Structure 1
Amino acid sequence: MSKKDLIKRLKWYYPMEMIHAFITFPIMVVWLIFNKPLQEIVFILYGLALCIFILYQGQHYWKLKLYTLTGRSFDRTKNLTFFRKSKKINLVMIALVPLVLMLQLYLNDWSYNGNLIWWAVLANVFGMLEHINYYHTQLMVDNTSDINYLIRNRKLKTASLAKDLLENEI
């Protein structure tokens, strides 16, 4: 993808990630809190919090990539530190998912109510996949450049953030 095309893409892509981190998922949280008993939504709230936290990192990363491409300055060291710390926090949060599921089941006498538990599993898995997508392997294949890479190399790309952390630059 050319630099011009990448700039054009990031100008709409990072704001979309920001909308999901600051509006879409928080609206779901608020709706759940006001419409469901707390003991039924602990696991889904945790999954949504995981998603919000990782989507925040993603939108911040894409904003910084846009800044880099357009020559806007920012503190690279501070931001690399932010992403390294966030990656560790993500891993702790992901490791806690089974415990939060156990808490959810305990609060409901070891049973689950309706399909809300499945939505909760989906939210938690989505958060885990977002972590992989940003910090390990790019799972999102949503443009011709990514499709061509996949066809040519028969494998998914290393995530851009993973490369940047390895190279110690954004």
Structure 2
Amino acid sequence: MRDRMERRLSYLISGETFAIIMFPIIYAVSFFAYQDLKLHFLFSFWLSFFLLEFILLQGSLYWRVKLKQLKKEPSIILPQRVVRTLQVLEKANGGLLLLTLLFFVIDFLIWYPNVPFKELSITGYIFIFAFLEYVNYFYIQLSYDNISDLKFLIKTRRLKEAYIKKDIRRGSSR
């Protein structure tokens, strides 16, 4: 069981880390391949992109801490300082989401009536992806990519509580 959990945590770490590395590369390639796209002019694009990368980094680091804890201790209950950090990050992410929405509106108003629809659409998709990652980590698990998760989903017909949310609740009650 412990081996399986270590493999699962390593898989999650590598997936998040891969995404963190690949998204800037994809942006760089698309910057040169699609020079008519002017994403770099939109502050909301940069905020959305930063937010997505920031949340993915948090996920990667969270899984690393869980793996380290699993290797060190018989349980994976997080230290109090990590729980407090997660609480701060949850609030910071929420603030960044609101700030990004504000700048999305500002970008729209700045560019009106010549609104760059493609650029704002891409920015919107990145923002939605960041928002879904935030929900997936801090509220409700949205990713069901293994048999155990799928069995739970089929059996209970409900979504699981996010792992970080569980750890925050557990840590707050100590």
Normalising by the residue count of structure 2, what TM-score does the alignment of the two structures yield? 0.83
Give the Cα–Cα distance (whole angstroms) in 2 for the partners of residues 33 and 93 of structure 1: 25
Corresponding residue number in structure 2 for 1:133: 136
Number of the residue aligned with 1:26: 24
Does 2:86 align with 1:83? yes
Q: CA deviation at 1:12?
A: 2.8
Change (3 A) 1:38 1:151: closer
Question: Which letter does structure 1 place at the counterpart of 2:63?
Answer: W
Moved beyond 6 Å, runs of 4+ = none
Q: Which residue of 2 aligns with 1:98?
A: 101
Partner of 1:116: 119
Q: 2:54 aligns to what?
A: 53
Matched AA of 2:99: L
Contact 1:43 / 1:104 at 8 angstroms: preserved in 2? yes
Tell me the CA shift for residue 32 of structure 1.
Answer: 7.0
Corresponding residue SS for 1:168: helix
- Cα separation, partners in 2 of 1:29 and 1:107, compared to 1, 3 Å: farther
Q: CA separation in 2, counterparts of 1:61 and 1:102?
A: 32
**Offset, 1:89:** 0.5
Partner of residue 71, structure 1: 72
- How far apart, CA to CA, are the structure 2 residues paired with 1:155 and 1:62? 24
Indicate the residue corresponding to 2:8 in structure 1: 9
Equivalent residues of 1:133, 1:139 under 8 A apart: yes
Q: Which runs of 5+ in 2 are unaligned?
A: none
Quote the offset at 1:28 in angstroms.
Answer: 4.5
Contact kept, 8 Å, 1:133 with 1:140, in 2: the verdict is: yes
TM-score of the aligned structures, taking structure 1 as reference length = 0.85
3-state DSSP class of the match of 1:141?
coil
Residues 106 and 144 of structure 1, relative CA distance in 2, 3 Å threshold: same
Matched residue, 1:42: 43
Identity of aligned residues (%): 26
CA shift digits 1:97-139 (9 cap, x unpaired): 3211112112313442242221111100111111110011000
Contact persistence 2:40–2:46 (CA under 8 A): no
